Amino acid sequence: MSRTINLAVIPGDGIGPEVVAQGLKVLRAALPQDVKLETTEYDLGAQRWHRTGETLPDAELEALRQHDAILLGAVGDPSVPSGILERGLLLKLRFAFEHYVNLRPAKLFPNTRTPLAGRPDIDFVVVREGTEGPYTGNGGSLRTGTPDEVATEVSVNTALGVERVVRDAFERAQARPRRKLTLVHKNNVLVYAGHLWKNTFDKVAEEYPEVTTDYLHVDAATIFLVSQPERFDVIVTDNLFGDIITDLAAAIAGGIGLAASGNINPAGTHPSMFEPVHGSAPDIAGQGKADPTATVLSVALLLRHLGHPAEAARIEAAVSADLAERDGARSTDAIGDALAARVSA
Amino acid sequence: MSRTINLAVIPGDGIGPEVVAQGLKVLRAALPQDVKLETTEYDLGAQRWHRTGETLPDAELEALRQHDAILLGAVGDPSVPSGILERGLLLKLRFAFEHYVNLRPAKLFPNTRTPLAGRPDIDFVVVREGTEGPYTGNGGSLRTGTPDEVATEVSVNTALGVERVVRDAFERAQARPRRKLTLVHKNNVLVYAGHLWKNTFDKVAEEYPEVTTDYLHVDAATIFLVSQPERFDVIVTDNLFGDIITDLAAAIAGGIGLAASGNINPAGTHPSMFEPVHGSAPDIAGQGKADPTATVLSVALLLRHLGHPAEAARIEAAVSADLAERDGARSTDAIGDALAARVSA
Ligand SMILES: CC(C)[C@H](C(=O)O)[C@@H](O)C(=O)O
Ligand SMILES: CC(C)[C@H](C(=O)O)[C@@H](O)C(=O)O
């Protein structure tokens, strides 16, 4: 465990810088006395793209690689054509740094909104694959713009890529009290990728006899997420299905304003990146209205990843206590202050 | 409008035959005096596959083609390996008969369960593409079963295929009071297919100035489906996204037991097929416990498609009235009788 955390910070666009400031505040408050934090800011996102046309130059990719971890606020703006920052920055980082575990916990904290009736018991985590599937950018378009256009998207799935994320999910399931792991796919239609996922899952399952396993088609999974969310403990799924069900999971577990995520390279060969699931919300940027809680919870994931589980748990407890007493609107800064105060106390 | 409806019936497996019997009962009760119904049963599904190894022989495909429409109960059984009946029967029919509009209404009837708090106003219809996207069976696996396996799935999207379903969705939106159409895709990641969908949508929109349009990424769409379902009127989307969001839509609008669907060939060059969204539910088969309402509502879609809108509306009104008074468990048969009685009255 390093005594200095050498953190790269990408504040990004819209509310990104505001929520990141609070995330760093709480991170500083949570760190043990003998651990130093060094931060380096990287100016990446919509503004940078408008100024220079660059999304993520190689030199900055290499510089980012030297850090212990990355904290990202949010990138994106309606003024940038769809796909440019997503593929040129966010996904490029996930792919270049082999963030094959996209970790997204869903927990319904006290006193938070859920669109579901009766406040079900929601406490699960989605292990979304982060480096393969339909996200690889494979595909193309023939006779573009004509009445004869054919556009394809190729989902690429490798035994290497599937097995490493499935193993990680079994490890996480094994470490939780309920020890239950659900594979979500669509193997009755996507039979090639589906067989690879299902066979790998079944094979690795033999090494984890204490973990109860289950399989759901992605369409059925959305039904259970709203009708019986308590049935889930750990979910493992592909990149696109994971994208979809984690937004749904965030919606039922208090809203996207509370959803944290880690883009994790468990092998530690590259820095992992932590970011709130929400976007840059340009409509409320600069007004001190953004809720920094998702970023603060992402900081907890960061600390756990870097080997500080007690500090991570302290942040999560602070969020839980703060939400339990939250009442009326508070500014971004006020929420950050309150969380930092609880964490230091 | 034909004076005889020449209907093919595929009862299928599990609860399929039970719900189809009620669907036919209500269909007979709803038909105008001067319209005759002729039905031909086709023995297709799990049992047939176990007996003969066949899913849908060419001769039967040709025979089915001669009908005005098809009513299907449900196919599938855990004893059949995943994918065989889906691809060899269900999807084969959708593809062979160019069912490019997969129509799935979501309406929250009175006195029905929804997992959402506060009974939001849910009344929208999803126009799911039915003949392209990741459902084409394109893909494969290299070095299968080895640690070096690569499995691919190819989403194929054509201008022809996208434009015809988008046009159909605009027509449906134009005919509804709210006149709102939302395109759901993931064009920030699946850029090739995404551009084709978005450009086609924007181009066709110019011909429908009275229709308000909107675009949502599929992940964001799942959030709105549970947090603000009243914002939707008509949704148009690709085959896989449509599969996922229509199960979610069914879950919030009273459960999968009430969800109807039509696999429609609007051009009328091939018979359209109507089926409940639910599966064959082998666990409750033969016990008279299955709710035939989804099949009955699918029969309403069938009648509307065949040019009997008043009769379709009568069935829907009967379902609504029946649900409003439903109280305690009734048998499959009792529900069918009650609906048929209301429709004839
Ligand atoms: C912005 C987009 C590329 C991204 C994704 O699809 O992964 C986002 O939706 C997410 O879930 O982090
Ligand atoms: C059974 C399966 C092939 C089918 C689909 O994926 O389309 C089903 O889920 C549906 O929605 O009708």
In chain B, residues with a C-beta closer than 8 Å to the C-beta of A204 are none
The residue-averaged pLDDT of B135-160 equals 97
Share of chain B above pLDDT 70, in %: 99
Q: Give A240-291 pLDDT, tens digit per residue.
A: 999 999 999 999 999 988 999 999 999 999 999 999 999 999 999 999 999 9
Q: What is the pLDDT of residue B345?
A: 82
CA-CA distance, A272 to B150, in Å (whole number)? 25
Residue with CA nearest ligand 1 atom 6:
A243
Predicted confidence (pLDDT) at residue A151 exceeds the cutoff of 70: yes
pLDDT of residue B327: 86
Minimum Cα–Cα distance from A90: chain B residue: B189
Query: What DSSP assignment string belongs to A182-242?
Result: EEEE-TTTSHHHHHHHHHHHHHHHTT-TTSEEEEEEHHHHHHHHHH-GGG-SEEEE-HHHH
The answer to whether A187 and A237 are in contact (CB under 8 A) is: no
Specify the pLDDT at position B271: 98
Mean pLDDT of A199-224: 98
Supply the pLDDT for residue B197. Answer: 98
Total CB pairs under 8 A between chain A and B: 211
Q: Where are the alpha helices (DSSP H) in B66-115?
A: 84-85, 91-96
Radius of gyration of chain A, Cα coordinates, nearest whole angstrom: 20
- Stretch B319-335: mean pLDDT, rounded? 94
Active site annotation includes A202: no
Closest-CA residue to B287 (of B334, B323, B344, B332): B332
Which tokens in the block code for residue A142? 């023939």
Read off φ and ψ for residue B187, nearest 5 degrees: -80, -5
Q: CA neighbours within 13 Å on the CB side: how many for B176?
A: 20
Confidence of residue B115 (pLDDT cuts 50, 70, 90): very high
Instruction: Evaluate if residue A1 carries a pLDDT over 70.
Output: no
Work out the number of other CB atoms within 10 angstroms of the CB of residue B267: 11
Which residues in chain B touch residue A160, judged by CB atoms under 8 angstroms apart? 147-148
Percent of chain A with pLDDT over 90: 97
For ligand 2, atom 3, the nearest C-alpha belongs to: B86
Nearest-atom index, ligand 1, CA of A87: 3
Average pLDDT over residues B177-201: 98
Closest C-alpha residue for ligand 2 atom 2: B86
Instruction: List CB contacts of A301: < 8 A, sequence separation 6 or more.
Output: A103, A105, A260, A261, A262, A274, A312
pLDDT confidence of residue A284? 96
Contacts of residue A146, Cβ cutoff 8 Å, sequence gap at least 6: B159
Residue among B145, B196, B247 minimizing CB distance to A220: B247
pLDDT digit string, tens, across residues B152-179: 999 999 999 999 999 999 999 999 999 9
Mean pLDDT, chain A, rounded, equals 97
Nearest CA to ligand 2 atom 6: B243
Closest partner residue to A151 (CB to CB) among B86, B150, B192 is B192
pLDDT of B277:
95
Q: What is the identity of the amino acid at B274? A: F
Residue B283, pLDDT score: 96
Closest B-chain CA to A158: B150
List of chain A residues whose C-beta atoms are within 8 Å of the C-beta of residue B226? 115-116, 226, 248, 251-252
Please give the distance of CA A64 from its chain centroid, rounded to a whole number.
Answer: 18
Closest CA to B137 of B103, B92, B196, B105: B92
Mutate to test the pocket of ligand 2, among A184, A186, A189, A241 (most ligand atoms within 8 A of CB): A189
pLDDT grade, residue A345 (50/70/90)? confident
pLDDT tens for residues A35-84?
999 999 999 999 999 999 999 999 999 999 999 999 999 999 999 999 99
In Å, how far from its chain's centre is CA A229?
19
A77 has catalytic annotation: no
Shortest-distance atom of ligand 2 to CA A186: 6
Structural domains of chain A, with CATH: 1-103+259-345 (3.40.718.10), 114-253 (3.40.718.10)
Flag whether pLDDT at B311 surpasses 90.
yes
Give the Å distance between the CA of A90 and the centre of ligand 1.
Answer: 8
Mean pLDDT, all residues of chain B: 97
pLDDT of residue B216: 98
pLDDT band at B32, cuts 50/70/90?
very high
- Binding-site residues of B for NAD(+), in ranges, read 279-291
Structure tokens at A61: 């990719």
pLDDT for residue A328 = 87
**pLDDT of residue B1 exceeding 60:** no
User: In A, which residues are within 8 Å of B161 by CB distance?
Assistant: none
- Region B3-20: mean pLDDT is 97
- For ligand 1, which residues put their CB under 6 angstroms from it? A 86, 90-91, 243, 277; B 188-189, 219
pLDDT by residue (tens digit) across B210-269?
A: 999 999 999 999 999 999 999 999 999 999 999 999 999 999 999 988 999 999 999 999
What tokens were used for A66?
């030297």
Neighbours of B200 (CB within 10 A): 21
Ligand 2 atom with least separation from CA of B247: 11
Whether residue B297 is predicted with pLDDT greater than 90 in this model: the reply is: yes
pLDDT value at position A16?
A: 98
Place of tokens 């039904």: A223
pLDDT cut 90: percent of chain B above it? 97
DSSP labels, B246-291? HHHHHHHTT-GGG-EEEEE-TT-SS-EEEEESS---GGGTTTT---
Question: Tokens in use for B253?
Answer: 């609008």
Q: Is B219 in the active site?
A: yes
Mean pLDDT across the stretch A199-213? 98
